[in-house]
Structure 1
Amino acid sequence: MRVIHLGTFCVFLVLWPAAFAKTNFTQCLQMLNDGTFGDHPDGARNNKGMQVPAVDATAVSYDFCKTSCGAGPEPFSWTTFSTQFSSWLLPWLALLSQLPFGSTFPTDDVVSVFLTVGSPALAAYSLILTILNGKWVSRRLSGIRYPNVHYIWRVLNSLQQSSLNIDDSEGMLASLVILPENDEWWEEMAHGLDYTQTWSPSTISQIAWVFIAYLFTVIVSFLDTPDSVTANSNGQGVGSGFLWLLPIVIGWLQLSPKCDSARVGEAFFRADGKAFRATDDPTRPALASESTGHRALSLSSYKDSEARHDEEASAPIYNYARVLPWIANVERVFSVLHTAAERAACNEPVSPDARWKPADRHKCVADDNRRGTLEQVLLYACRPRAPQTGRIDPDFVSRFMIATAMAFFLQWATVGGAIIAVWFTPAIGLGCRSGSYLLYAAVGTIVWAIMVTSSFFAYYSTMESSDTLCARHSRMASRRAAGIIAVLLRRFGKFLATLNSIWIVLCCILQFSSSFDTCWCNASVLGLGKDAFYVISFLPSDIRAMTRAWILGIVLALGSAVVFGIFVYLHINPPSPAPPKRV
């Protein structure tokens, strides 16, 4: 409620100056043409910025505008504001409700909205990285002939939105992968995570409404260009500037991330009673829930690690924070699974005293070959040369670069379309509107850099290491420092994203409320400097040039959204690394 009151107060402050403004630039130009300010005043300009006689003037210099026309904005018009706001901005704000949420704490969902609007690059980066990770884990497990590979892939891929923890103490992970009694656990877990929250009738209608409203407003803006150039320019900028949201929402709906923390927790709870661990008796494995408090796979709670707080928030935009620990967990499961598959390919049973038994046509490895004591299970899953911890996987670097490139492409192309639409509205140059969009995109990029960097520091601060005890103690100070840096960066990044999201919405409101219709803004003083001038009357040649610029901006923004959407579609459904269990 306080946020709503604060937002209302901010809008009131924004609209207050325009509500009582009396500046009339059209009347000022008419007075100039009639000779009220003399026949050859210094401020008379044409639309190229050249000085002309007063009777031929269609523009005025910035100094003349301030002194003779008035430095304030034009009066606020509720009709114009409501029409522009409801046509160009309101559909995009409503579309934010279709973003995937599901975090345990509602504040994390609220912050995820600010992160998405404040940094479209971060939202696109998390989406693309999630899709590429799903494709990578499919390839990582492909070619492995061992039971449950199909379910293991589905479970690991579905848990990208969860703070996954893997515990191999007491042989939990090795038992979960190798023992035949755990086949039901993998199947139960995969089915428990197999739910979708996509493409409901309300979702489809809302996306269709946003897209159709955007098309209609674009068409109308071209039809009545001579009558309301500034209003149409503002609308073109807002429409292109928020167009990145459409492929982001559609992409998440296609992916259907498992981000409902309650349902994921329920899936773990229901599968928990079917997890077994090996014991000293190979024929009698024990239920993990009855013999130990450890679990091979569980949801982590980082109450004592503030640096990794974002990993617990299940909203998918936080996948940027989970990617490194998730990859490390996938590699741990892969190590056990790959080693067991290699030994099975050599007809080695878990128990050295047992003889290898051929499997029937429904299984790739017979159940009797997968039974053994706890010590035998651990040895069976042990690789002669374990991978070195802490290394950066070259495959991840490739996925990181692709996700970064696609994120920057979507953000800068759509916001760039908005910049083009207002930049080429005379007087051509950097002004309040184009400068606002440029600042928004720049800050969005900075937020992406801050949040991604914080995730790297957070992972390093709690990364497991195979160093000796002395070496481990020598690294403690640097890891504590990394944890502090991660927390500071994350908090600053969220603060900056919140300001940036508020900034872009307020900028749109400023445009629709005529608050940007001032001498300083319309003269593009930021770009033209002392030569700034304000075009009040547009000529047919100006309209044609603006129309071409608008078309270019729309093609750039809409084309980038389409390319991004095609990329998502082509990578979103990787093939299973193994067929499901035959019955």
Structure 2
Amino acid sequence: MPYPPVDAALTFLKLLPLLLLFPSPTTADCLTQFLALQQFNTSIEGGTDNHGRPINIQNATAMTYALCNQICGSSSHIRSWGIFSQRFSTWLLPFLALVSQLPFGANNKIDNLTSILLNVGSPTLATYSLLLTLLNARWVSLRFSKICYPNAQIAARILSTLQQIPLKISSSSSSSDKDNNDGDVLLASLIVLPENDAWWSDLLVWLDINYTYTWSFANVASIGWVVIAFLLTVIDTFTTSSSNLSPPLNFNGLAVAFAWLWLLPLVISWLQFAPRCDRVSLHRALRHANRLAYVASPSPSSPPPIYQPHPAPVTANTKSSRRAISIAIHNGTLTADEHRTPPIYNYARIFRWCAAVETVYAGFKEAGRRAGMHLPVQSEVAWVDSEKEGDVRPENRRGCEESVADYIRAPDHLLKLKRKSSKISSGLIYRMLIASICALFLTWGTVAGAVIVEWFTPTIGLSCKSGSYLMYAVLSTTSWLALVLSSTLSAQSIPLLSVRNHPPYRTPFRLSASIALRRLGKLLGALNALWLVLICLFQFIGVYDMCFCNGSVLYLGRARSYAVWILTPEDNAAFWYPGVGGTVLACGAVIVFLIFTNLLLDPLASVS
């Protein structure tokens, strides 16, 4: 037997032009026939009250699913073009315009289109990436704020800004790893040498002056349009008296607004954080800064005639093409999402970024510890005090490459204690858990408002409309879960840093599972985005306006299903409860989320 909602969905796109130009009999026609039956036919069976209890057809305000099919047919009651265009422009168009204000920044249209589909199809993933970004920025800012060494706070700001690209750190981690000493010297020189102060300051300037997703007139106009349209929808729902058609048409607009309301705090929060997500600008900033990088010189093989305690550093270009901080090389299909700069892909870069931060932090921390003990880089020279408290004079920061490399390398006994205490980046699991809870809270808080509104309007129960919104939330969560699992497996399958003591754990299962889960998650997200748009179009055109959907057959079954056609004063009064409940739930989720994200943004001001 054909399934009515599926049949409607399959034929919708084919018949849309004809349906709008030549609509089928409307709901009003069915109501007219129902009223005629009440007046002229008292023997027909199938009349019920608005709770599904059988009564005489003359006093009935609803009818069974079987009688509804006899009177109105089993097809949808398509509305006219004028009704469709009015509702589309009032309820859906403002949110579609707001989607364009999300941060993108990819260099090709396909990646930007995929980012749009993932944002709309999985608000859970979009919110998760946003929260991870804000929590990471808070974590790195507070972590580096405890270090008293030149450029430490600037490094925190730079690392926070570079969450939109996969970072590569050239460094070893222990004094016994001599084979990778070149990489250690690159990072150590960047941290220790006073000649590299210009590298840190210039990179920060270049990141600030290049493309930044921040407030503009277009952003404010789009946000204002959505807020006004939402307020008018809520006011119209609770001030316009319900007609004798059920469910009230105004509730359709309220459900659509709730289903899209998660987009508003997402755009506002990204605008407040102002991510740098243009790939070309980020690459250009790093290339420009790396031309200014200096590297410590090796000790001379024989002592010079005149003792020189500080061998002059040389530019990094004269030694090799390697740099201490650079962008990781594309590793094929496995790390494809890490190299896509739209912020929604920050979930894929979390493990690599945290590993990079931990490496840079360890170097600054060890340098700060030794500076606090008044130990200069070159042990042969005496410490030079500074007049300013906490300042480290340039004379104390110069030395040969061996001394510079050793200056940021923690002693082996301290390193072993650190490895035993934590094999994962500090607090990463905690931040992922907080981001997951908040993402689920915003997604289900707003979409649940739409489900409540549609569930508790006659006929009460799981209908095509409430079921469609519920399916959207489930697919959003499933897509997010698949992509998070994919990124976790990917991090375990590749080396996050170019060091010997961080080996990859390559297994065919992890590689295949990571790629499969990523493709599944992105496919579900893209299809779910189209599904949300179709849900709204179905409501505007009247595809859901059929006996199967109006009778909540999904919930009650065909034998017990009934379609309400005439509302009683008690029904009109009862509409306030799902409306108010859904409004409080959806708006409360948005307000709580915005308050939480603003609290996370506070520590950034301390390093700006």
Q: Quote the residue 2:371 is aligned against.
A: 344
Residues 1:556 and 2:585 aligned together:
yes
Q: Partner of 1:247: helix, strand, or coil?
A: helix
Structure 2, unpaired ranges of 5+: 1-8, 172-179, 300-309
Q: Is the 8 A contact 1:417 1:557 kept in 2?
A: yes
Alignment of 1:286-325 (within 5 A): 286-302=314-330, 304-325=331-352
- Farther-moved stretch of structure 1 (531-540 vs 219-228): 219-228
Offset of residue 230 of structure 1 = 3.4
Query: 1:191 is matched by which residue type in structure 2?
Result: V
> Which of 219, 229, 237 does residue 221 from structure 1 map onto?
237
Query: 1:34 is matched by which residue type in structure 2?
Result: Q
Q: Partner of 2:55: helix, strand, or coil?
A: coil
Offset of residue 413 of structure 1 = 0.7
> Which of 435, 440, 447 does residue 479 from structure 2 map onto?
447
Q: Is the 8 A contact 2:213 2:277 kept in 1?
A: no
Offset of residue 15 of structure 1 = 6.3
Offset of residue 221 of structure 1 = 2.6
Q: Quote the residue 1:3 is aligned against.
A: none
Q: d(CA) in 1 for partners of 2:197 and 2:498?
A: 31
Q: Is the 8 A contact 1:28 1:68 kept in 2?
A: yes
Classify 1:560/1:576 alpha carbon distance in 2 versus 1 (closer, same or farther; 3 Å): closer
Q: Quote the residue 1:568 is aligned against.
A: 597
Residues 1:274 and 2:306 aligned together:
no
Q: d(CA) in 1 for partners of 2:37 and 2:426?
A: 67
Q: Quote the residue 1:412 is aligned against.
A: 444
Q: Quote the residue 1:539 is aligned against.
A: 568
Offset of residue 452 of structure 1 = 0.5
Offset of residue 572 of structure 1 = 1.2
> Which of 541, 544, 549 does residue 521 from structure 1 map onto?
549
Q: Quote the residue 2:387 is aligned against.
A: 360
Offset of residue 107 of structure 1 = 1.5
Query: 1:231 is matched by which residue type in structure 2?
Result: L
> Which of 47, 51, 59 does residue 50 from structure 2 map onto?
47
Classify 1:208/1:70 alpha carbon distance in 2 versus 1 (closer, same or farther; 3 Å): same
Q: Quote the residue 2:263 is aligned against.
A: 245
Classify 1:553/1:576 alpha carbon distance in 2 versus 1 (closer, same or farther; 3 Å): closer
Q: d(CA) in 2 for partners of 1:464 and 1:114?
A: 28
Q: Partner of 1:573: helix, strand, or coil?
A: helix
Residues 1:34 and 2:39 aligned together:
yes
Cα deviations by residue, 1:364-391 (Å, 9 ceiling, x for unpaired)? 1111111111111111111123343992
Q: Partner of 1:463: helix, strand, or coil?
A: coil
Q: d(CA) in 1 for partners of 2:605 and 2:237?
A: 48
> Which of 324, 344, 354 does residue 327 from structure 1 map onto?
354
Q: Is the 8 A contact 1:44 1:52 kept in 2?
A: yes
Offset of residue 112 of structure 1 = 0.9
Q: d(CA) in 2 for partners of 1:71 and 1:32?
A: 18
Offset of residue 17 of structure 1 = 5.5
Q: Partner of 1:534: helix, strand, or coil?
A: strand
Q: d(CA) in 1 for partners of 2:513 and 2:567?
A: 53
> Which of 375, 378, 386 does residue 402 from structure 2 map onto?
375
Alignment of 1:14-25 (within 5 A): 19-22=22-25, 24-25=29-30
Q: Is the 8 A contact 2:37 2:57 kept in 1?
A: yes
Q: Partner of 2:602: helix, strand, or coil?
A: coil
Q: Quote the residue 2:102 is aligned against.
A: 99
> Which of 417, 422, 431 does residue 399 from structure 1 map onto?
431
Q: Is the 8 A contact 2:165 2:338 kept in 1?
A: yes
Residues 1:207 and 2:210 aligned together:
no
Cα deviations by residue, 1:149-207 (Å, 9 ceiling, x for unpaired)? 12101100100111111112511111111111100000001111124432211211111
Q: Quote the residue 2:419 is aligned against.
A: 388
Residues 1:435 and 2:467 aligned together:
yes
Residues 1:234 and 2:252 aligned together:
yes
Q: Is the 8 A contact 2:384 2:395 kept in 1?
A: yes
> Which of 435, 439, 456 does residue 424 from structure 1 map onto?
456
Offset of residue 289 of structure 1 = 1.9
Residues 1:59 and 2:88 aligned together:
no
Q: Is the 8 A contact 1:11 1:506 kept in 2?
A: no
Q: d(CA) in 2 for partners of 1:491 and 1:221?
A: 41
Classify 1:30/1:576 alpha carbon distance in 2 versus 1 (closer, same or farther; 3 Å): closer
Q: d(CA) in 2 for partners of 1:131 and 1:176?
A: 26
Q: Is the 8 A contact 2:159 2:357 kept in 1?
A: yes
Offset of residue 393 of structure 1 = 3.7
> Which of 182, 185, 199 does residue 185 from structure 1 map onto?
199
Offset of residue 397 of structure 1 = 1.6
- CA RMSD in angstroms comes to 2.3
TM-score, with length taken from structure 2: 0.89
- Farther-moved stretch of structure 1 (380-389 vs 15-24): 15-24
Cα deviations by residue, 1:506-541 (Å, 9 ceiling, x for unpaired)? 011001101110000000011111311000111121
Offset of residue 140 of structure 1 = 1.2
Classify 1:166/1:14 alpha carbon distance in 2 versus 1 (closer, same or farther; 3 Å): farther
Give identity over the alignment, percent. 39
Q: d(CA) in 2 for partners of 1:338 and 1:444?
A: 41
Query: 2:272 is matched by which residue type in structure 1?
Result: Q
Q: d(CA) in 2 for partners of 1:434 and 1:420?
A: 7
Alignment of 1:499-518 (within 5 A): 499-518=527-546
Q: d(CA) in 2 for partners of 1:576 and 1:512?
A: 46
Q: Partner of 1:572: helix, strand, or coil?
A: helix
Classify 1:10/1:306 alpha carbon distance in 2 versus 1 (closer, same or farther; 3 Å): farther
Cα deviations by residue, 1:228-274 (Å, 9 ceiling, x for unpaired)? 64321211110111000000000000000111112211211221221
Q: d(CA) in 2 for partners of 1:43 and 1:15?
A: 35
Q: Is the 8 A contact 1:350 1:369 kept in 2?
A: yes
Classify 1:398/1:16 alpha carbon distance in 2 versus 1 (closer, same or farther; 3 Å): farther
Structure 1, unpaired ranges of 5+: 1-6
